[in-house]
Chain A
């Protein structure tokens, strides 16, 4: 069965870096794009962008360019979200989700809570 399994919660200090992983199983990893979605505490879903798992080409939403990095390791069917130089307002749950051609998400990871605090 299709699964997206994310790495565990992270507690980091401001200025540190974090790398969240999203491991896919149960389907051909390079057949569907992988999206990242942020949900700040008590807030709604925010589209961060997506990565083409066939080419490795990332697309970032407005507000997420420059400081967020999407990457892949297709040998282990895993996508990564890296946030260098963390700020307090990066505190959120980050989800990966599988993109279908109609621009909807049929499978989601369980979410990774990143807490930035001194």
Chain B
């Protein structure tokens, strides 16, 4: 099963908004609301930012939000800050009772 499709990179200036897309199929993103997003600064373990498409764990700023339409999920970061610079990965449950990750997106804050 191929990885979910994410853009390799996105960028934005401080204060701006960016959106990272995550495209799957009807076997994963399109069927389940079990999409999650993870932030990974260089050299660190991933951190959960969004779960079940739209939910934020405690401690995650409300500048981070998630959504889904059809086979594509999205992570939007508003009011960009320098500390948001990191790699971001989406993950989805699948009809095969497995989990699949996206290829990752490098966010650069200009």
Contact = CB atoms under 8 A, between A and B. Distances in A.
A106 B34 CA distance: 13
Interface stretch (B10-18, B19-27, B73-81, B95-103): B95-103
A102 B51 CA distance: 8
B46 A106 contact: no
Contact of A105 (B32, B48, B97, B102): B48
Given A44-B101, A44-B102, A45-B104, A103 B93 contact: yes
B47 A108 contact: yes
A35 interface: yes
Contacts, number: 65
Contacts of A106: 48, 51, 57
Interface in A39-94: 44-47, 49, 59, 61-62
A72 B38 CA distance: 26
Interface residues of B, number: 27
Given A103-B34, A104-B51, A44 B104 contact: yes
Interface string B44-61: 011110011000010000
Nearest to A47: B99
A110 interface: yes
B34 A104 contact: yes
B100 A47 contact: yes
B34 A95 contact: no
A108 B101 CA distance: 15
B104 A104 contact: no
Interface of B: 1, 3, 32, 34, 36, 38, 40, 45-48, 51-52, 57, 87, 89, 91-93, 97-104
Interface of A: 35, 37, 44-47, 49, 59, 61-62, 95, 97, 100, 102-106, 108-111
